[in-house]
Amino acid sequence: MFVRRGVVLGAVAVLVAACGGAPPADAPAESPTTAPPAVVAPSVVEGDLPAADLRGTQIPYQFEELTAVTVPWDGAPQERDGVFVGTQTTGQQVTFTAVTHQGTALWEVSRPQQCGQFTLTTVDDMPLAVLCTTTEDGFVAHGIDATTGDVVWGPTAVPGPLTGLGVVFTVQGTPAPGDVSDTVVLRADTGEVVSWPQSLPDDAHVIGEKDGLILTVHNGTLEAWDSQTGERSWSIPAPHGAQQVGDSPLGQRFVEVVGESTSVVVDTRDGDVVASDVITAGTDPSTGTLVVLDDESTSGVDESGATLWSIPRELPLGSGDTSSQAPPQITAAGGVMVYVREGALIRAHNALTGDVAEAYPPGGNGTILVPVTMSATGAGVLTDYDTYTLVTTLHEP
């Protein structure tokens, strides 16, 4: 465990004591799934969601025979282990709703708008949602079993809302993770505050956390720290101006580090840079293949970091208007397919071979629905960038 130091972390410890306090010796033990008084626990809302009306739309081939349902989200959800969690903002409130890959609602809970960020991670094979809320004393965080809605831990006092990738909380008003003096990282399994190691300078910059690995930048060096042992896992030169990690889901193996003019994809196990000059990247959860686009090529990388294929970057035939010159974006990957949006053009690559596949029926009419989140189970969330639809793993009757 790290040696505790730093003004902010000391203040957090005091705030935790103020929020809870030691219970009387004869007080009954609190159930680990009982929400603390300051936290509004999720409400169980089990039930199948209503069928979606896809008339007048075009959907990718791989979803054509599956059942689609409407979902109460106004943005792309996150997904872990077949559970999707998304949000909907109404006034000053954000409502979180969890849905299975089969289209069954699990739970929902509302939070203040400034607590609209969340993260999904996995703890001992359990998908865990980490959310925060506000109390009279400030911000607190807690972990929720994403399958049941049970509160697993919390409240843990934090200096502000979630920012960036992972279980990272920064003083409110900071748009991204900041220096260690302004930032707190929690252990996802217990909710405990991670103490910074003595060797980490106060002006080191926290850029994210991924599955227990804390990423920091200082004096041009990118370092990874184990949140449980406090040991430095690896250290490499950082991209110039690196201040954050990308928000594209790259599986549990890879992370994108964003610099001022370039991005790199790093293997979180050893710090190996598997791709440079990255424009966009995504990982197919069904095969583990990382697909990367740079200025010159589109490439596939397997879980060992070896290049499977690489093809010159161009605009193959796809669906949509090719007139826009917007930078390409991998919108989603799954089921051995990787979807790339370049301007109004949507194309698909086979994740294992790089071959360009026909994503949509040719000559189709109607609004094109673009995949934005996909699971290893085969479910996917499609959008016209106004509404969102979950295509489940259930076949149409």
Tell whether 122 is covered by a domain: yes
Q: At 234, which CATH number?
A: 2.130.10
Distance CA 206, CA 381 (A): 31
Angle value at C-alpha 32, between 27 and 36, nearest 5 degrees: 70
**H or E, element range at 244:** strand 244-245
Tokens of 358: 């026909």
Tell whether 1 is covered by a domain: no
Answer yes or no: are the C-beta atoms of 164 and 118 closer than 8 Å.
no
pLDDT at 206 over 60: yes
- 206 lies in which domain range? 7-23+43-395
Tell whether 192 is covered by a domain: yes
Tell whether 377 is covered by a domain: yes
Predicted pLDDT at 388? 98
Tell whether 92 is covered by a domain: yes
Percent share of the chain, pLDDT over 70: 85
Per-residue model confidence as pLDDT tens digits over 127-156: 999 999 999 999 999 999 999 999 999 999
Handedness of CA 162, 204, 211, 377 (dihedral sign): positive
pLDDT at 175 over 80: no
Q: Which of 39, 36, 63, 68 is nearest to 51 (CA)?
A: 68
DSSP states along 290-320: EEEEESSEEEEE-TTS-EEEEEE----S-BS
pLDDT at 34 over 50: no
Under the banding of pLDDT at 50, 70 and 90, the label for residue 325 is low
Predicted pLDDT at 101? 97
Tell whether 57 is covered by a domain: yes
Q: How many domains does the chain have?
A: 1
Per-residue model confidence as pLDDT tens digits over 279-310: 999 999 999 999 999 989 999 999 888 999 99
Predicted pLDDT at 38? 47
Predicted pLDDT at 392? 98
pLDDT at 270 over 60: yes
Distance CA 144, CA 209 (A): 18
Per-residue model confidence as pLDDT tens digits over 75-132: 999 999 999 999 999 999 999 999 999 999 999 999 999 999 999 999 999 999 999 9
Distance CA 228, CA 6 (A): 18
Tell whether 33 is covered by a domain: no
Under the banding of pLDDT at 50, 70 and 90, the label for residue 173 is confident
pLDDT at 32 over 60: no
Tell whether 81 is covered by a domain: yes
Least confident interval from 15-24, 193-202, 243-252, 345-354: 15-24
| Model confidence, pTM | 0.86
Predicted pLDDT at 41? 85
Distance CA 274, CA 266 (A): 6
**Which of 204-208, 381-385, 393-397 holds the top average pLDDT?**
381-385
